[in-house]
Homo-oligomer: A and B are copies of this chain.
Amino acid sequence: MPYFDAASTAPLHPVARQALLAALDDGWADPARLHREGRRARLLLDAAREAAAEAVGCRPDELVFTSSGTRALHTGLAGSLAGRRRTGRHLVVSSVEHSAVLHGAELHEAQGGTVTEVPVDRTGAVRAQAFGESLRADTALACLQSANHEVGTVQPVEEVAAVCRAAGVPLLVDAAQSLAWGPVPGAWSLLAASAHKWGGPPGVGLLAVRKGVRFAPEGPRDERESGRAAGYENVPAIVAAAASLRAVRSEAAAQGPRLRELTDRIRTRVPELVPDVQVVGDPVRRLPHLLTFSCLYVDGEALLHELDRAGFSVSSGSSCTSSTLTPSHVLVAMGVLSEGNVRVSLPPGTREEDVERFLAVLPRAVAAVRERLGAPDSPAAPSRQGSLVVDTLGRLCPVPVIELAKVIDGVPVGGTVTVLSDDEAARLDIPAWCAMRGQEYVGEEPADRGRAYVVRRLT
């Protein structure tokens, strides 16, 4: 059954599985011990570090293994901020970083630091110049992902790294989504990644800290991993992670163009096959295996279940999907439609016929969800009223947009529809709907409950 959610977790690479099994036999003991089992584990750990460092493009003594990518980011953030505390407590992040970085920034702010979020354009990319302008004399650290995990847009890391270097600010790069495809270019200072994103086993992250970068590890001291990752080393998983990173790298030249062709096909065909769809993210400067689109009048979770029943595993950045009931902060930062959002991320080896089958299944799946939700398909009866108020309080996305679409033709051109909504996603999806439909988004106002979103009919 086709699994199109590689950006969450890539299926275990056969090389990872093989290396894991071998290392469970040979590298299960404590690498800190002096007996032969310990020495064997130490040798395997050292070899894995060398292989991973080569793939990252750093020295082996600059790289430590952590228990996850999240842990690598948390450690990188905390260690840099503590190490550069004398310089200041200002942190710069892009607004579309992974939540591990943004939550780290949130904690830094709660502890008295200051944070600047650099905005992105509608494709999800920062501009190096804007990034540079956010750097200050008291900036301790800047963070930028190599590529976005939800929309696939590749960030201008090399330019941003140059700007940071010129300002004397270390740059921490979250390379979780891109490391499988190649080393991160440019003069970055710290780099974090996660093995289960490249087909390695879970339980392994990596953190590279270039020599000369100030770094003060936080938490209780611990002798393992140069004092930067407390706790017993997971040698078998580390061995498997390093082996699979080498393997995916050697396959990248063949897999990259293949998957790019398949994702290009989906990007082109989906808007042809499904009405009212917005494909988001940069069409060119993007990861080869990942694309995202949003569907008007669709509940992302319902669509995900519909596709799951049809045999396709994808994920969604819609608010309706997440446990927090807020839409993906990435889509919010880009200012694009969040409802009915679907992220398709193809693992290496994805078959063309599965992609074709997905394209065949998708229109029916979207139509089924729209029908269940009562999405508008015909214009409403005309009304003589110059304005209408639609109360969708207590109802989640995509209902506010559906109700808006149902009544818009009921007001004369020039008239307004006011949608009352207490769903956070409405703030994003109502303006996005207006842009897609050529209607005017007038703005939002506070209401007794929730907010009032005002739309003027133009067509």
Given A24-B201, A107-B219, A220-B104: A232 in contact with B70 (beta carbons within 8 A): yes
Is A74 an interface residue, CB under 8 A from the partner?
Answer: yes
Q: How far is the CB of A319 from chain B (nearest CB, A)?
A: 14
The answer to whether B220 touches A313, judged by C-beta atoms less than 8 angstroms apart, is no
- Expressed in whole angstroms, the Cα–Cα distance for A67 and B68 within the complex equals 9
Cα distance A12–B67 when bound, in Å? 19
Q: Which residue of B lies closest to A197 (CB)?
A: B232
A68 B221 Cβ-Cβ under 8 A: no
**A67-B68, A220-B74 are known contacts. Are A35 and B315 too (CB-CB below 8 A)?**
yes
Q: Is the CB of B103 within 8 A of A202?
A: no
Chain B residues within 8 Å of A34, by CB:
301, 304-305, 308, 315, 321
Output the nearest chain B residue to A3 by Cβ-Cβ distance: B37
Complex: how many Å from CA A314 to CA B324? 51
Whether A35 lies near B313 (C-beta < 8 A) is yes
With A29-B9, A74-B220 as contacts: A313 and B230 at CB distance below 8 Å: no
Does residue A194 face the partner (Cβ distance < 8 Å to B)? yes
Are A106 and B220 in touch, CB under 8 angstroms? yes
B205 near A35: Cβ-Cβ < 8 Å = no
Pick the interface stretch among A114-122, A234-242, A261-269, A428-436.
A234-242
A69 contacts chain B at the CB level, 8 A cutoff: yes
**Least Cβ–Cβ distance between A336 and chain B, in angstroms:** 22
- The verdict on A194 contacting B232 (CB below 8 Å), with A28-B9, A30-B8 known, is yes
Take A12-B28, A30-B9, A308-B35 as given contacts and tell me if A74 and B203 are in contact as well, using a CB distance cutoff of 8 Å: no
CA distance A223 to B301 in the complex (A): 19
Asked whether B234 lies within 8 Å of A35 as measured between CB atoms, the reply is no
Cα of A71 to Cα of B304 in the assembled complex, Å: 35
Count of this chain's copies in the oligomeric assembly: 2
- The docked-state distance in angstroms from the alpha carbon of A74 to that of B5 is 33
Q: Mark A65-89, 1 if CB is under 8 A from B, else 0.
A: 0011111001001100000000000
A78–B219 alpha-carbon span in the complex (Å): 9
A222 proximal to B (CB < 8 A):
yes
Residues of B contacting A67 in the complex (Cβ-Cβ under 8 angstroms): 67-68, 71, 203, 231, 234
Cβ of A423 under 8 Å from chain B: no
Given contacts A24-B12, A30-B9, contact A222 B308 (CB under 8 A): no
Among A8, A38, A67, the one with the most B-chain Cβ atoms within 10 Å of its Cβ is A67
Q: How far in angstroms is the closest Cβ of chain B from A344?
A: 12
Contact with B along A340-356 (1 / 0, CB 8 A): 00000000000000000
Bound: A258/B99 CA distance, A: 51
Is A196 engaged at the interface, CB distance under 8 Å to the other chain?
yes
Interface set of A (CB-CB < 8 Å, partner B): 1, 3, 5, 8-9, 11-12, 17, 20-21, 24, 28-30, 32-38, 67-71, 74, 77-78, 99-100, 103-104, 106-107, 194, 196, 201-203, 205, 219-223, 230-237, 301, 304-305, 308, 313-315, 321, 323-324
| A–B Cβ pairs within 8 angstroms, 7 of them | A11-B28, A34-B304, A38-B313, A67-B203, A100-B230, A107-B221, A194-B232
Known interface pairs A34-B304, A38-B313, A223-B323; 13 further A-B residue pairs with C-beta atoms within 8 A, sorted by A's residue number: A3-B35, A9-B30, A12-B24, A12-B28, A28-B202, A70-B232, A71-B230, A104-B220, A106-B221, A107-B221, A202-B232, A223-B324, A234-B237
